Amino acid sequence: MISYDSIFVPLSAALGLSITIERFIEFAKNVCARIFSRKKGKKIPASSEYENLLKDLEQQYQRDKLAHEVEKKAEEIAKLRNDFLKQLAKEKDPTARKELKNELTKVEVDGEWDESFSTSSVLVEPATDPDDGNTLRILILQLLGLSAGIIAAHYSGIQVFNSFLKVLNQPLLPNWLDFLFTGLLIGGGSGPMHTLVKFITQHKIVMEKEVSAETVHNSQTAEKIAAPAFAPAVDFAEAMWIDIPYQGGVDRDKLEWVHVRERNPQLIVYHHTSLHSQSTFNDVVRVIKDRKDSQGNNWLTGYHCVILADGSIRPFCRWDRFGNHAAGNNQNSLGLALNGNFETDPNVPYSNANGKYGNLKPTEVQLRNAARIITLWTFLYQIEIDFEKYIIPHRNISSKTCPGSNFPVDELQHWIEFFAGKWIKSKQVKEKIEIFKLKPYLFVKTKEA
């Protein structure tokens, strides 16, 4: 048994300092924002730069106009698609089948990525917004916080790590090293400190036998939460929530006046990118945005979110704008893509039958995080969890086989049901979702608002 007070007292003091420093840094950040965000006079661009700017804006609005025209043809596209599928089922001649396919492709070309990707394509430009100095300011503030934490730990005499080592009868660290580590912990913000204090107050550092892999803990009591039968058991953090990075996606400012939705999304469509599973998010964005529409303009955006093979969640298109992922259904939908090519039928062009595009199916963490994003969307936009009507694979509304014949649809659906079932019962997660709703670039501004 480890003494509770011997650990909790220095840790509580460290938490108090951490919160104080965090508030100071937040104040400093707001002051810096006011100072550096003041509008300054801009140099009048040269005539050539001015012309290029006008040309770029003209292309954006032409592309946006075309995207809206495609969406207005939703019923026409659906009819053509149905007729195509009926004719394709009857047609046996390969040449005739190819001609049928080309006819439908002409309709879909302006509304969705064709998901036929050559392995020879490469990235030539990073897909990130230009840095306006925020990165440097954030780095300076973080270094300031860490420095303040170290100084505070030294002058207050708080040694969190030696407090742990003493009760564990382990060799102690030199005082200067403990002050350094404690200061870094304090300067890192209240988040890590809260997590550590919460752990100690719940478990009281009692050396118990390891909890079985099937048992997960919520914040108030230990309870068994069964993960889907096909999946390995997950702990509480995995079952409930992870922070999802969303600040408006790529090129959010360029979409301010284009690709505007008429209302919030009511449909979720999931895809595969058809790229190699080890390609980067920058690869996905650049390949899609380099594509030309039928009028020769580059695409403005694509999927709303991309999940990489390592589980990384990367927002692409603004969620309050429509993307290019499902022709005729873009206006009222959100598009999620798992990076990789999961089509293994050798008869399908650009398929991954021989593994040349990497993973033959999504990784476990990739599938799980895709389910998290979809579940979050259902909470944000009140989308019913209905796998026939509202949460569907791309192939249900397209001539394509996306997200591939080897995509584990059932597993994804089970994960969505799993997370939705746990989140709806968790006060903490529901609070996090309400906080998430305060983020910008989420909801369509109605006339009433």
**pLDDT averages per 10-residue partition of the chain, 449 residues:** 62 75 72 58 62 71 70 68 72 72 61 56 40 62 79 80 71 81 74 61 44 36 45 52 88 89 94 93 89 77 94 94 88 95 91 93 95 96 96 90 95 95 91 92 72
- C-alpha distances (whole Å) from 145 to each of 128, 135, 156 are 27, 15, 16
Give residue 265's pLDDT: 95
Residue 449's alpha-carbon distances to 68, 442, 444, in angstroms, are 23, 14, 9
Strand 305-307 with 333-338, pairing: parallel
Quote the CA–CA distance of 335 and 330 in Å, as a whole number.
Answer: 8
Compute CA 218 distance to the chain's CA centroid, rounded to the nearest angstrom: 24
Q: How far apart (Å, rounded) are the C-alpha atoms in residues 15 and 152?
A: 12
What is the structure's pLDDT at 15?
72
Domains and CATH numbers, the chain: 4-36+133-208 (no CATH), 253-436 (3.40.80.10)
361 Cβ contact partners less than 8 Å away, ≥ 6 residues apart: 342, 406, 407, 408
- The whole-angstrom separation of Cα 111 and Cα 259 is 12
CA 110 from centroid of its chain's CA atoms? 25
Helix axes 134-156, 175-187, angle to 10 degrees: 140
Give residues with Cβ within 8 angstroms of 228, minimum separation 6.
411, 414, 415, 418
Closest among 78, 90, 70, 103 to 398, alpha carbons compared: 78
Amino acid in the structure at residue 390: Y
Phi, psi of 80 (to 5 degrees): -60, -40
pTM: 0.63
Instruction: Report the pLDDT value the prediction gives residue 215, as an integer from 0 to 100.
Output: 36
Extract the tokens encoding 374: 């979809």
Cβ atoms of 328 and 70 within 8 Å: the answer is yes
Alpha carbons 419 and 228: distance in angstroms, whole number: 10
Amino acid at 429: V
